[in-house]
């Protein structure tokens, strides 16, 4: 692509994705689910940006908008210097090979009737990136890269274990040498002892072939391990962005603090000393989010301002951004 | 401290078309009064089956409890018939259980009121009115607001976290001696998980109940459990006080497990994850020797020649089932 030397692989500006709520026979629109509500962030080349939040906060929708599986309601998605948010399907085709996805469920995201080699090689065929006679060699090389034995090429997905299936999903994702991979909860369906293998593989691949990741997950300890920077989402908005070290050492947003304190650490001695912040209530519905700051209904620090105005994401130094009036 | 529950050498096998599955094969643990213990292991290691066996909730066929004893209040529960009167009065009455998936473990066509009062009327012989009053106070206690009206709601009208609160209320309704929580928080978000676990901890103190937390999350047991049992392929492979196990794990599997889970505050710059090689074993037709042998970095020849070693003490209340004693430096 024309601007591959650009430093920012992805620049998302004011992204909004609203899903209509319809009612009655005529499917009259009665409201919006604001799944993603004005989200902006950048991802630099060879960087991993983690996106964390609880279920329903819009992290997967954000990923899908970037992949242009959805047409966003508004906002720009600048990928290698080009806004792809409004492109037609036809114009998107040549761009699609530069970004790919790894999905959560290695059982549902692989076609059970295709052989492993066909699955991994399909993107290559679609984008005409391989000659027929080189196909097997190319797939074998891909398999080796992700730690699968090339002799397993002719097997079908059910013959693979969960970890191997996820490796196959990764092989498919890197087949076209993309620059950006959206990893949507890639390890949460795996056994604990297998998760580390996949995390390590993703980290190795990033170093060897220079990938950029958007790593979406709900498990903050995993996200922190793999990411350079972490963005925390709550009810469709980003509430805090910081380097993963800093987010752990000095979280600023009240929601981030509660989220961090909710995660138990596997160390009983440390656990005894930790202060626990237990949030009251539950996440409000994105169809009727609270006014002002979305978090004010559960926030200890909330004042009248928080109820009325939306706090903007502002920089507090060293690239640490937070959307809160009170810090 | 008095021992409330003592499980010795419990064995539950499943007879399947593809072979014999020794889901639980020599499971021993004990629970003291007022104690919180944790049972940790990966999926498929037999955590749930061992707990279901204690409650005699194994469907037979294909499953069968083939050996061992479960001593509770001086009686061996396994001597009772699964569908007999004695077991029915213990199940839900003296030993209660919270299941993983609150959507499938609550009956969708019965109101919450019916599901809480059922146990109260059955085990405590309450009349419907006093059972309802107690149900309302229980719902208040587990943090469901507006309990008087919500008691007539059905499970689908509650969110996942709320459903699990209802499950906790049902489990505690008859003042059980023991509460078994089988992966109580895997289906919910982490802030809800924190709410539920804090609630459970409060409740067991309030009701003077002992708690067994079954989970694959090492953090959860570190936070709440006093003692820990680590399970692998149907057996306890290490047990001990929570501080000891996390500070000085001695079984190669426990060490591997602790090394392969990312911890909060660690980035890849300051710690590389060390995965456990290989895959969790297939439980069909297992070899007679240690099931961790193929994945073990410390294995010796003896491990394959001899049957799985018994638990042996390596410290105060610290036991491992391994020939090799890996002293963590």
B68 is a domain residue:
yes
Report which DSSP code applies to B185: T
Helix (H, G, I), strand (E, B) or coil at B294: helix
Cα angle A265, A269, A271 (rounded to 5 degrees) comes to 40
Give the closest of B194, B243, B267 to A269, CB-based.
Answer: B243
| A7 vs B5 pLDDT, higher one | B5
Which pTM does this prediction carry? Answer: 0.87
Round to whole Å and give the CA distance between B70 and B57: 14
- Residue B268's closest chain A neighbor by CA? A225
* Half-sphere exposure in the Cβ direction for B265 (13 Å, CA): 10
For B282, residues 6+ apart whose C-beta sits below 8 A from its C-beta are: none
A262/B190 CB distance under 8 A? yes
Region of A116 please: left (phi>0), alpha (psi -120 to 50) or beta: alpha
Q: Is A197 on the interface with B (CB under 8 A)?
A: yes
Question: Nearest CB to A263: which of B195, B260, B264?
Answer: B264
CA distance A46 to chain B (A): 15
Of the candidates A192, A155, A197, A289, the residue with the CA atom closest to the CA atom of residue A235: A289
Tell me if A224 and B192 make a contact (CB, 8 A cut-off).
no
Q: Do A248 and B220 touch (CB under 8 A)?
A: no
Residues B184 and B181: their CA atoms lie apart, in Å, by 6
Closest C-alpha among A39, A45, A83 to residue A59: A39
Out of A2-11, A290-299, A305-314, B8-17, least confident range: A2-11
Name which of A70, A74, A92, A93 is nearest A12 in CA terms: A74
Residue numbers in B near A260 (CB within 8 A): 264
A-chain CB neighbours of B267 within 8 Å are 224-225, 227, 244-245
**Chain A neighbors of B150, CB-CB under 8 A:** none
Write out residues 18-47 of A within 8 Å (CB-CB) of B: none
- By C-alpha distance, which of B180, B182, B235, B172 is closest to B5? B180
Is the pLDDT at A3 greater than 60? The verdict is: no
Task: Say which residue, B113 or A5, is predicted with more confidence.
Answer: B113
Tens digits of residue pLDDT in B247-270: 999 999 999 998 888 888 777 777
**In this predicted structure, what is the pLDDT of residue B144?**
85
List the single best residue of A256, A267, A281 to mutate versus B (max B Cβ within 10 A).
Answer: A267
Dihedral through CA A227, CA A231, CA A235, CA A236, nearest 10? -100
Whether A279 and B159 lie within 8 Å, measured CB to CB? no
pLDDT tens readout for residues A172-219: 999 999 999 999 989 888 888 888 899 999 999 999 999 999 999 988
For residue B280, give the nearest of A193, A225, A271 by CB distance.
A193
Query: Tell me, what's the pLDDT at A6?
Result: 58
Nearest to A117 by CA among A71, A157, A60: A157
Test A225 with B159 for CB contact under 8 angstroms.
no
**3-state class of A179 per DSSP?**
coil
Asked if B263 and A266 come within 8 Å (Cβ–Cβ), the reply is yes
Q: Is B236 left (phi over 0), alpha (psi -120 to 50) or beta?
A: beta
On whether residue B135 sits in a domain, the answer given is: no
Q: What span, in angstroms and rounded, lies between the C-alpha atoms of A98 and A9?
A: 10
Q: What is the mean pLDDT of residues A119-136?
A: 91
Q: Are B250 and B325 in contact (CB under 8 A)?
A: yes
Distance CA B203, CA B226 (A): 16
Question: Tokens 């009727």 appear where?
Answer: A288
Percentage of chain A exceeding pLDDT 70: 98
Euclidean distance between CA atoms A187 and A170, whole angstroms = 11
- Cα separation, B296 vs A95, in Å, equals 46
CB-CB contact of B231 with B212 (8 Å): no
- Indicate the residue of B191, B194, B260 with minimum beta-carbon distance to A196: B260
Nearest CA in chain A to B241: A268
Taking an 8 Å cut-off on Cβ atoms, the answer to whether B264 and A267 are in contact is no
> Would B162 be classed as within a structural domain?
no
* H helix runs in chain B, sequence order: 47-54, 85-90, 102-105, 112-123, 128-141, 147-150, 160-172, 190-207, 218-224, 242-247, 252-260, 301-305
pLDDT surpasses 80 at A44: yes
**For position B104, what pLDDT does the model report?**
80
Q: Note the pLDDT tens digit of each residue in A172-184.
A: 999 999 999 999 9
* Percent share of chain A, pLDDT over 90: 61
Q: What is the pLDDT of residue A288?
A: 87
B105 pLDDT higher than 90: no
With an 8 Å Cβ cutoff, are B266 and A225 in contact?
yes
Q: What is the pLDDT of residues B120-177, one digit of tens each?
A: 998 888 999 999 999 999 998 888 888 888 999 999 888 888 888 899 999 999 889 9
Domain boundaries, chain A: 8-98+178-322, 114-173
Q: Is residue B154 classed as helix, strand or coil in its secondary structure?
A: coil
Give the closest residue to A266 by CA, choosing from B238, B262, B29, B42. B262
DSSP 8-state assignment for residue B275: P
CA distance B223 to A173: 38
A276 touches chain B (CB under 8 A): yes
pLDDT in tens, B32-63: 998 999 999 888 888 889 999 999 988 888 88
User: B290 lies in which domain range?
Assistant: 3-34+41-84+230-320
What is the rounded distance in angstroms from the CA atom of residue A278 to the CA atom of residue B52?
31
User: Is residue B200, in this structure, part of any structural domain at all?
Assistant: no
ipTM of the complex: 0.81
In a mutational test of the A interface, the residue from B165, B263, B272 whose CB has the highest number of chain A CBs within 10 Å is B263
Residue A69 has pLDDT above 80, yes or no: yes
Burial tier of B47 (Cβ tally within 10 Å: 0-12, 13-18, 19+): buried
Residue B225 has a pLDDT of 92
A111 reaches B (C-beta below 8 A): no
pLDDT for A1 beyond 50: no
Residue B12 lies in a domain: yes
Residue B212 has pLDDT above 90, yes or no: yes
B11 inside domain: yes
Among partner residues B190, B265, B268, which is closest to A218 by beta-carbon distance?
Answer: B190
Mean residue pLDDT of chain A comes to: 90
Q: Provide the pLDDT for residue B329.
A: 40
Beta-bridge partner residues of B70? B7
HSE (CB half, 13 Å, CA atoms) of B297?
14
**Per-residue pLDDT at A141 exceeds 90:** yes
CB contacts, 8 Å: A54 with chain B = 189-192
Contact yes or no for B280 and A268 at CB 8 A: no
Specify whether the CB–CB gap between B93 and B219 falls below 8 A: no
C-beta of residue B112 within 8 angstroms of C-beta of residue B131: no
Domain count, chain B: 1
pLDDT of residue A108: 85
Q: Which residues in A lie closer than 8 A to residue B256 (C-beta atoms)?
A: 193
Contact state of B198 with A264 under an 8 Å Cβ cutoff: no
Whether residue B70 has pLDDT greater than 50: yes
Domain of residue B301, CATH code = 3.40.50.300
Q: Is there a domain that residue B289 lies in?
A: yes
Indicate whether B183 pLDDT > 60. yes
Give the class (CATH, top level) of A8-98+178-322.
Answer: alpha beta
Q: What angle do CA B196, B200, B206 make, to 5 degrees?
A: 145
Which chain B residue has the Cα nearest residue A275? B223
Rounded Cα distance between A220 and B48, Å, is: 27
Query: Does the distance separating the beta carbons of B216 and A224 come in below 8 Å?
Result: no
Judging contacts by C-beta atoms under 8 Å, the chain B residues touching residue A191 are 42-43, 280
Contact B260 A193 (CB under 8 A): yes
Residue B17 lies in a domain: yes
> Any chain B CB within 8 A of the CB of A126?
no
Q: Does the CA dihedral B279-B283-B288-B291 come out positive or negative?
A: positive
Q: How far is B185 from chain A (nearest CA, A)?
A: 12
* 8 Å CB contact of A224 and B265: yes
**Cβ A199–B273 below 8 Å, yes or no?**
yes
What are the CA-CA distances from residue A287 to residues A31, A52, A235, A298, B79 (Å)?
A: 7, 21, 10, 17, 55
């Amino acid at each position: 692509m024309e601007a591959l030397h650009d430093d920012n692989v992805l620049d998302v500006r004011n992204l909004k994705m609203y899903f209509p709520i319809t009612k009655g026979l005529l499917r009259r629109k009665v409201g919006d689910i604001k799944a993603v509500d004005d989200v902006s962030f950048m991802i630099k080349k060879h960087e991993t940006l983690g996106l964390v939040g609880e279920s329903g906060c819009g992290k997967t929708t954000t990923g899908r908008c970037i992949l242009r599986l959805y047409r966003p309601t508004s906002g720009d998605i600048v990928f290698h210097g080009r806004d792809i948010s409004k492109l037609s399907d036809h114009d998107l085709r040549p761009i699609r090979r530069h970004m790919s996805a790894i999905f959560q469920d290695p059982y549902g995201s692989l076609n059970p009737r295709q052989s492993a080699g066909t699955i991994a090689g399909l993107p290559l065929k679609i984008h005409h990136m391989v000659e027929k006679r080189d196909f097997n060699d190319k797939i074998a090389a891909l398999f080796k890269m992700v730690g699968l034995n090339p002799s397993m090429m002719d097997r079908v997905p059910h013959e693979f274990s969960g970890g191997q299936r996820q490796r196959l999903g990764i092989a498919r994702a890197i087949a076209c040498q993309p620059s950006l991979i959206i990893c949507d909860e890639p390890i949460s369906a795996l056994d604990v002892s297998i998760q580390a293998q996949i995390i390590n593989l993703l980290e190795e691949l990033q170093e060897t072939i220079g990938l950029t990741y958007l790593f979406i997950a709900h498990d903050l300890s995993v996200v922190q391990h793999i990411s350079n920077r972490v963005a925390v989402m709550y009810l469709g908005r980003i509430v805090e962005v910081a380097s993963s070290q800093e987010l752990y050492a000095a979280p600023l947003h009240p929601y981030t603090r509660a989220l961090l304190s909710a995660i138990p650490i596997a160390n009983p001695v440390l656990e005894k000393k930790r202060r626990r912040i237990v949030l009251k209530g539950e996440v409000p519905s994105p169809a009727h989010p609270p006014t002002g700051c979305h978090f004010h209904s559960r926030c200890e620090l909330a004042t009248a301002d928080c109820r009325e105005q939306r706090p903007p994401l502002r920089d507090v130094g060293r690239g640490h951004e937070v959307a809160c009036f009170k810090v | 401290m008095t021992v409330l529950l003592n499980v010795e050498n419990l064995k539950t096998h499943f007879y399947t078309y593809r072979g014999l599955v020794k889901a639980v094969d020599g499971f021993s643990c004990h629970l003291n009064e007022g104690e919180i213990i944790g049972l940790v292991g990966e999926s498929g290691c037999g955590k749930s089956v061992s707990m279901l066996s204690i409650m005699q909730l194994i469907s037979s066929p294909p499953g069968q409890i083939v050996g061992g004893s479960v001593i509770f209040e001086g009686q061996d529960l396994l001597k009772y018939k699964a569908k007999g009167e004695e077991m029915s009065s213990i199940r839900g009455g003296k030993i209660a259980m919270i299941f993983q998936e609150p959507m499938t473990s609550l009956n969708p066509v019965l109101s919450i009121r019916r599901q809480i009062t059922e146990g109260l009327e059955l085990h405590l012989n309450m009349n419907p009115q006093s059972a309802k009053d107690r149900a309302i106070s229980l719902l208040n206690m587990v943090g469901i607001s507006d309990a008087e009206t919500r008691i007539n709601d059905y499970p689908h009208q509650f969110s996942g976290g709320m459903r699990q609160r209802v499950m906790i209320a049902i489990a505690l309704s008859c003042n059980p001696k023991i509460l078994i929580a089988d992966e109580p928080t895997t289906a919910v978000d982490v802030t809800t998980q924190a709410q539920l676990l804090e609630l459970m901890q409060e409740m067991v103190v309030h009701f003077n109940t002992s708690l067994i937390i079954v989970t694959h999350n090492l953090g959860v047991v570190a936070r709440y459990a006093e003692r820990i049992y680590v399970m692998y392929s149907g057996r306890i492979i290490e047990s001990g006080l929570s501080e000891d196990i996390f500070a000085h794990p001695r079984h190669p599997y426990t060490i591997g497990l602790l090394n392969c889970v990312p911890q909060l505050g660690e980035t890849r710059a300051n710690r590389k994850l060390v995965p456990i090689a290989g895959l969790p074993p297939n439980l069909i037709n297992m070899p007679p020797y240690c099931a961790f042998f193929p994945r073990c970095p410390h294995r010796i020849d003896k491990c394959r020649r001899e049957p799985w070693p018994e638990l042996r003490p390596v410290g105060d209340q610290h036991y491992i089932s391994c020939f090799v004693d890996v002293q963590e430096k």
